[in-house]
């Protein structure tokens, strides 16, 4: 209780009004006009999912299994690269190439060792899916150095409309060196061409010492990523420390501040910094105090659900619900609501090709959110 009160007092003292805090307060609806169905069960930690068709998808299990799910039946896919499993690390996200229907190529993020050193770090792979086998497995990027720390691997994958793949790597528990240093991996959003090459217009390609795949920096642990359906912008959510989880709209070459500015504090209740703003750093579109432990993130674009179109959905690991955020004017959150409250640790959320929302819940599997009536 003392730590929680310290967080509230500290955040109130520091907040400058430059970013929108978690107001309005989150609501638990008195009338629930939706339920859920289990699409596929018996998955301990379903981390990533990618839809091939309405009843067909890929699901990663963090301990190292990639499932092909068809009509609720899951089959393990063979041919994965070696995976380093420790703490928050393992087999992470999975995504389909934008032209998957013609080339059967998928992308995966996972924790890997590779260099022969102890420990691991986040890597992005590409492979061709042939039946239940991966072929032509290719490493596109591997963050270095390896570390035995088990936290902050990231990692989500998204694509823009210009032939780029984006992925996130957390600060790997080294906040003092990685996030603010563009010559080091960690605490970054990366951008590559679809074949793994470096785009000529990446922001730091002229700096020979920089990690030239870096697109933005100053991040802590981004575990949600989605493309805005109207603007095409890359939206990211990331874990803060105690308080200060954020939603950021990613811009080329920008610094998002961690750990020099933050709306959170240390888990011990002590300050990380006395600053929440800096003229050379980006403010979050939104931040949560207290932390909700944000996971996957998706926009609802269909008319399947009454009043949910264009809303943003974020999973809460800490409080075990799916959060619905209503956004007006592009950057103002006017309503927050719990969906599937106390369902379990929500690891991911995706909109399927049928327009329904699908939620990955630890210990349960993949659930389909279904309107009543």
Can you say how many angstroms the Cα of residue 176 is from the centroid of all Cα atoms in its chain? 22
pLDDT at position 112 is: 98
3-state secondary structure of 222: strand
Compute, in degrees rounded to 10, the torsion defined by CA atoms 254, 258, 260, 265.
Answer: 150
56 to each of 53, 237, 259, 325, how far by Cα in Å? 5, 27, 41, 28
pLDDT at position 40 is: 97
Q: What is the pLDDT along the chain (373 residues), one digit of tens a residue?
A: 444 444 444 444 444 446 888 788 999 998 899 999 999 999 999 999 999 999 999 999 999 999 999 999 999 999 999 999 999 999 999 999 999 999 999 999 999 999 877 999 999 999 999 999 999 999 999 999 999 999 999 999 999 999 999 999 999 999 999 999 999 999 999 999 999 999 999 999 999 999 999 999 999 999 999 999 999 999 999 999 999 999 999 999 999 999 999 999 999 999 999 999 999 999 999 999 999 999 999 999 999 998 999 999 999 999 999 999 999 998 899 999 999 999 999 999 999 999 999 999 999 999 999 998 7
**Which member of 97, 152, 164, 239 is catalytic?**
152
| CATH topology classification for 2-30+43-291 | Neuraminidase (2.120.10)
pLDDT at position 24 is: 86
pLDDT at position 12 is: 41
pLDDT at position 1 is: 44
152 included as an active-site residue: yes
What are the φ/ψ torsions at residue 101 (nearest 5 degrees)?
-60, -25
> What is d(CA 270, CA 275) in angstroms, rounded to the nearest whole number?
14
pLDDT at position 31 is: 87
């Amino acid at each position: 209780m003392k730590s929680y009160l310290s967080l509230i007092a500290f955040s109130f003292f520091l907040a400058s009004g430059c970013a929108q805090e978690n107001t309005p307060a989150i609501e638990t609806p008195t009338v629930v006009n939706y339920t859920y169905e289990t699409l596929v069960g018996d998955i301990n930690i379903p981390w990533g999912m990618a839809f091939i068709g309405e009843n067909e998808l890929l699901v990663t299990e963090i301990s190292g299994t990639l499932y092909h799910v068809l009509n609720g039946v899951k089959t393990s896919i063979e041919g994965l690269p070696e995976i380093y499993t420790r703490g928050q690390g393992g087999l992470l996200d999975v995504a389909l190439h934008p032209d998957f229907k013609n080339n059967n190529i998928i992308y995966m993020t996972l924790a890997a060792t590779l260099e022969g050193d102890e420990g691991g770090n986040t890597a992005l792979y590409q492979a061709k899916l042939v039946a239940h086998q991966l072929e032509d497995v290719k490493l596109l990027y591997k963050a270095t150095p390896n570390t035995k720390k088990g936290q902050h691997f990231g990692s989500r994958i998204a694509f823009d409309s210009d032939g780029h793949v984006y992925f996130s790597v957390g600060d790997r528990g080294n906040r003092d060196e990685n996030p603010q240093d563009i010559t080091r991996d960690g605490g970054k959003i990366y951008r590559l061409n679809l074949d793994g090459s470096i785009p000529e217009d990446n922001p730091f390609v002229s700096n020979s010492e920089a990690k030239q795949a870096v697109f933005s920096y100053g991040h802590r642990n981004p575990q949600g990523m989605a493309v805005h359906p109207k603007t095409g912008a890359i939206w990211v959510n990331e874990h803060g420390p105690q308080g200060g989880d954020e939603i950021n709209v990613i811009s080329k070459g920008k610094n998002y501040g961690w750990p020099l500015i933050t709306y959170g504090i240390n888990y011990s209740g002590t300050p990380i910094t006395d600053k929440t703003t800096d003229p050379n750093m980006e403010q979050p579109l939104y931040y949560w105090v207290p932390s909700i432990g944000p996971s996957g993130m998706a926009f609802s674009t269909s008319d399947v659900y009454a009043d949910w179109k264009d809303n943003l959905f974020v999973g809460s690991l800490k409080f075990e619900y799916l959060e619905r955020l209503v956004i007006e004017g592009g950057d103002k959150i006017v309503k927050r609501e719990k969906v599937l409250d106390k369902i379990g640790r929500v690891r991911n959320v995706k909109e399927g090709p049928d327009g329904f929302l699908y939620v990955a819940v630890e210990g349960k599997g993949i659930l389909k959110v279904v309107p009543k009536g």
